[in-house]
Amino acid sequence: MDTKAFETLRTERLDDGLLLVTLNRPDVRNALNTQMGRDLRDVFVPLAFDASDVRSIVITGAGDKAFCAGGDLKERNGMTEAQWRAQHAIFEEAIYGVMNSLVPVIGAVNGAAFGGGCELALACDFVYAASTARFALTETTLGIMPGCGGTQNLARAVGARRAKELILSGRPFTADQAYEWGLVNRVCEPAALLDATLDIAKAIGANGPIGVRQAKKSIQRGMDVDLRTGLAFEVEAYNRTVDTEDRHEGVRAFNEKRKPKFAGK
């Protein structure tokens, strides 16, 4: 995958197939405007079909105040219904692109993640957060509701009853609460957040990419079906790893007491 210049994002290719995506509108707390939706869509939608040489992705926000403050309400002020719906369709494509990425996507939530910003974090496979981060799905305080996966992903992360409390009230919650409830995997000191997130992303990227992608797919599909169907899907996903060069390389490297060199084949 080639990176290119985006108006609202910074994309950096790091070692081991790691892609770092930074929401880059710090002057407005990385608020999600139409162009950011387009840029995120352009990065992530293709990754649902072709991972290329990308093995893991980290999303974070520029600056130290916000991951993403949610939808840009100044841009939305005065929009017609048709314009609002058209913009929201772009946001849907962007968020669903994150969710459908073949490779793992990890959120490094460095500050406020409100509204659509919280939905973006929830769309990631898992999240590390700064101790100063705060989360909220504030849409009901604006007369609307979460519409980019928030009602579905939050309930799956923290349970339906907690999700109802948070979404219906619109009240913010802390990184420690998010960790306690299962939305966040790890809370870090702000200065250590990005390094910690990149470290786990590199660990994922060093593993067999076919196995990682199949395992991610098996977990996601299994969450939506009964156990017996999930087990059947798991075996099918497993079988796709057997006839691969990576499987042979992994066993060979173990027996030769060296690190494997996975090619994704």
The domain limits of the chain are 9-205, 209-255
Average pLDDT over residues 155-161: 98
For residue 3, what pLDDT is reported? Answer: 57
Q: Is the confidence at residue 52, as pLDDT, over 90?
A: no
For residue 251, what pLDDT is reported? Answer: 92
Q: Write the burial class of residue 117 (CB in 10 Å: 0-12 exposed, 13-18 middle, 19+ buried).
A: buried
Average pLDDT over residues 18-47: 97
For residue range 175-208, list pLDDT tens digits in order: 999 999 999 999 999 999 999 999 999 999 999 9
For residue 2, what pLDDT is reported? Answer: 52
By percentage, how much of the chain surpasses pLDDT 90?
95
Amino acid at 3: T
Tokens (6 digits) for 256: 């030769």
Lowest-pLDDT range, 3-17, 23-37, 215-229, 239-253? 3-17
d(CA 241, CA 31): 40
The sign of the dihedral angle between the CA atoms of 251, 253, 255, 258 is negative
Reduced to 3 states, what is the DSSP secondary structure of residue 196? Answer: helix
**Dihedral class, residue 115 (left if φ above 0, else alpha if ψ from -120 to 50, else beta):** left
For residue range 71-110, list pLDDT tens digits in order: 999 999 999 999 999 999 999 999 999 999 999 999 999 9
DSSP H helical segments within 77-222, as ranges? 81-100, 116-123, 150-158, 160-169, 175-181, 193-205, 209-222
Average pLDDT over residues 220-236: 96
Q: Which CATH number applies to 209-255: 3.30.420.340, 3.20.20.150, 1.10.12.10, 3.40.640.10?
A: 1.10.12.10
Q: Is the confidence at residue 4, as pLDDT, over 80?
A: no
The answer to whether the predicted template modeling score (pTM) of the entire model surpasses 0.75 is yes
pLDDT category of residue 16 using cuts at 50, 70 and 90: confident
For residue 225, what pLDDT is reported? Answer: 96
Catalytic residue among 139, 165, 189, 234: 139
For residue 5, what pLDDT is reported? Answer: 87
**139 noted as active-site residue:** yes
For residue range 101-134, list pLDDT tens digits in order: 999 999 999 999 999 999 999 999 999 999 999 9
Contact 33, 25 (CB under 8 A): yes
Q: Is the confidence at residue 1, as pLDDT, over 60?
A: no
Angle between helices 150-158 and 116-123 (to 10 degrees): 60
Catalytic residue among 75, 119, 180, 234: 119
Residue for token pair 């999600």: 32
- Choice between 155 and 263, residue whose per-residue pLDDT is larger: 155
Q: Is the confidence at residue 255, as pLDDT, over 70?
A: yes
Amino acid at 13: R
Quick one: 9-205 is in which CATH superfamily?
2-enoyl-CoA Hydratase; Chain A, domain 1 (3.90.226.10)
